Amino acid sequence: MSRRFCCPRGQAAVELVGMLPLLFLVAFAVAQVLVAGLAREAAHHAAQAGAMALLQGGDPVKQARAAVPGWSRDRLTVVVRGRSVRVHVVPPALVPGAGALLDSTSSASAGPVG
């Protein structure tokens, strides 16, 4: 038997190349979950800003939009009902369709009427 087939030289490189697709998949999944967490925080912050605007007599929709980072303004829906503000944010999707599955909704109240 020849010597070049009996030694495991290069085996680690071959195993690494075989694992790269799995590593990329895990990295994309982690990044998508982190972006969804950012969207959740943005929704919560926007809902609170909208409720505070209601308390101060301002425009809750405008204040909710101003309270979030630029990437989420186009993905933001604000609904005001009475003294309650509800904000819905769809995070950017690294994998097509994943953003809609990981959307976030938050609401805040400006207190009782009156």
84: left (phi over 0), alpha (psi -120 to 50) or beta: beta
Regarding predicted confidence, which is higher, 68 or 9? 68
> What's CA 104's distance to the chain center, in Å?
8
pLDDT (tens digit per residue) in 46-79: 999 999 999 999 999 999 999 999 988 999 999 9
pLDDT band at residue 17, thresholds of 50, 70 and 90? confident
CB 107 within 8 A of CB 84: yes
Whether residue 88 is predicted with pLDDT greater than 80 in this model: the reply is yes
Residue 111: what pLDDT?
Answer: 84
Regarding predicted confidence, which is higher, 2 or 26? 26
